[in-house]
Amino acid sequence: MAHPLPGPTVFMSSPSPSTARPLAQRRDGLDVLRALAILAVLAFHAPSVVLEALPFTLRKAFAHGWMGVDLFFVLSGYLVGRQVFARQEEARGTVAELRTFWLKRWGRTLPLYYVVLAFYALKPWTFGTPFNGGGWHFVFFLQNYTALSDFVQSWSLCVEEHFYLVLPLLAYGLRGRRWPAWVWWLPVAVSLTARWMTWRELPPDVPFPQLPALLSWPTLHHLDGLAVGVFLAKTSPVWQQWASSRRTACGVLGAVVLALTVGMCGALPVGVNGLWVYTGLAVGFGLVLVGIEPMQLSVGPRWGIYQVAVLSYGAYLWHGSVVRVIERTGLSLGAWPVNLLVYLGATLGVAWVTYVTVEQPGLKWRDRLLARFETRREAGALSPAQLDRLAGR
């Protein structure tokens, strides 16, 4: 996820999600997409007490919820790309740019990730259950190259963290901010090629449950959404000036692309469909983003969507543990809508607790470091006479 994502990407630093940032300063359309992405993922991974009781139509819809991860990837590529391209006019130096970028991203994503990872690692002592497949590769975000059986959702975080590592090296180190926009489509070709080469070498009797790990979890196999997002960030000065009717048409076209992709590939794509489905989703979600970004909501819906969007990263990290607890305890309050609300409420509740106790302190620490580095940079750019005047001499 990015990110989860798969988180996610707007930096917060105030006491609670309800006051983390003035709602008027946020882009409602992006919050809507972020909320839809996490709710789709939560629906896909809902506990069996919910899934087994769903009406047939809803069960089919929930089975497509994994696509929320691909929406997170497009959002991450776009939001992080905006951070990269928006600073193009500043001459801060490559080292300073890299330091600032990585501190912003890792100060946002790493604290909570390692808290959740510690929770999984301590399970043998705290809950008497093993951390299946656990190891040091989780510390370095390499688990997406293994067949995961625990903390499974972390595979997408690996893709995002690798993206956070490489993108600034390209943008700042190799002056990628000056590259033409079409260059950012090349990672899509890389992923299509990587999936095809892997698919071509698969033995005919490979177990179906192993296909996602082989075709889509490795980082090079799943760059489509991130690349589309970066492309949109690079070209945003152009399409953000389009008339609302043209952007709406893009959103409608994106919905058509998504419908065709889902209709042709189904809930669990196999065979050749597994090669191009992620590209279709990336293009479709990218077009929808163009159409929906300028959306403005009324106060009531905005508040609720904002809460879900702010808590999406924590919800993505914690939902697997919540599902495990519900299923191990056999918790059921009767009707499936009630059980679904309990599951969603518990997941968002745990996410809120760690948002307040982990994410916000991490953001404050990050912001203090950024301010300190900025002060030192500005001081280094001043002449001795200017420093004397600032010191009152």
Distance of CA 298 to the CA centre of its chain: 26
Predicted confidence (pLDDT) at residue 392 exceeds the cutoff of 60? no
DSSP codes joined into one string, 87-107: TTT----HHHHHHHHHHHHHH
- In 3D space, the residue among 80, 125, 111 whose CA is nearest the CA of residue 363 turns out to be 111
- In 3D space, the residue among 177, 152, 194, 8 whose CA is nearest the CA of residue 97 turns out to be 177
What confidence tier does 68 reach under pLDDT thresholds 50, 70, 90?
A: very high
What confidence tier does 107 reach under pLDDT thresholds 50, 70, 90?
A: very high
Look at 193-197, 208-212, 339-343 and tell me which has the smallest mean pLDDT.
208-212
Structure tokens at 76: 């991450």
Instruction: Look at residue 96 in the predicted model and tell me its pLDDT.
Output: 87
* 234, 236, 242, 245: CA torsion to nearest 10: 110
Number of C-beta neighbours around residue 393 at 10 A: 7
How many residues make up the chain in this entry?
393
Average pLDDT over residues 244-264: 97
User: Which own/partner contact pairs does 326-333 have at CB distance under 8 Å and 24+ positions apart?
Assistant: 326/47, 326/49, 327/47, 327/48, 327/49, 330/49, 331/49, 332/49
Percent share of the chain, pLDDT over 70: 88
Q: Which of 60-64, 126-130, 264-268, 369-373 reaches the highest mean pLDDT?
A: 60-64
DSSP codes joined into one string, 214-252: HHTSSGGG--HHHHHHHHHHHHHHHHTTS-HHHHHHHHH
Instruction: Give tens-digit pLDDT for 281-303.
Output: 999 999 999 999 999 999 889 99
**Residue 189 CB contacts under 8 Å (≥ 6 apart), including other chains:** none
Look at 142-156, 232-246, 346-360, 378-392 and tell me which has the smallest mean pLDDT.
378-392
336-354 helix and 28-44 helix, angle to the nearest 10 degrees: 120
What confidence tier does 208 reach under pLDDT thresholds 50, 70, 90?
A: confident
Q: What is the DSSP letter of 272?
A: T
H-assigned helices in the chain: 28-44, 48-51, 56-62, 68-85, 94-121, 123-126, 154-168, 186-201, 211-215, 224-239, 244-265, 273-292, 299-310, 312-329, 336-354, 360-380, 384-391
Predicted confidence (pLDDT) at residue 93 exceeds the cutoff of 80? no
What confidence tier does 362 reach under pLDDT thresholds 50, 70, 90?
A: very high
Instruction: Give tens-digit pLDDT for 2-37.
Output: 443 333 333 333 334 444 444 446 789 999 999 999
Dihedral over Cα of 228, 234, 238, 241: its sign: positive
Distance of CA 82 to the CA centre of its chain: 15
Structure tokens at 65: 């919820």
Structure tokens at 252: 């409608």
Instruction: Give tens-digit pLDDT for 304-327.
Output: 999 999 999 999 999 999 999 999
Return the CA Rg of the chain: 22
Instruction: Look at residue 273 in the predicted model and tell me its pLDDT.
Output: 86
Predicted confidence (pLDDT) at residue 42 exceeds the cutoff of 60? yes
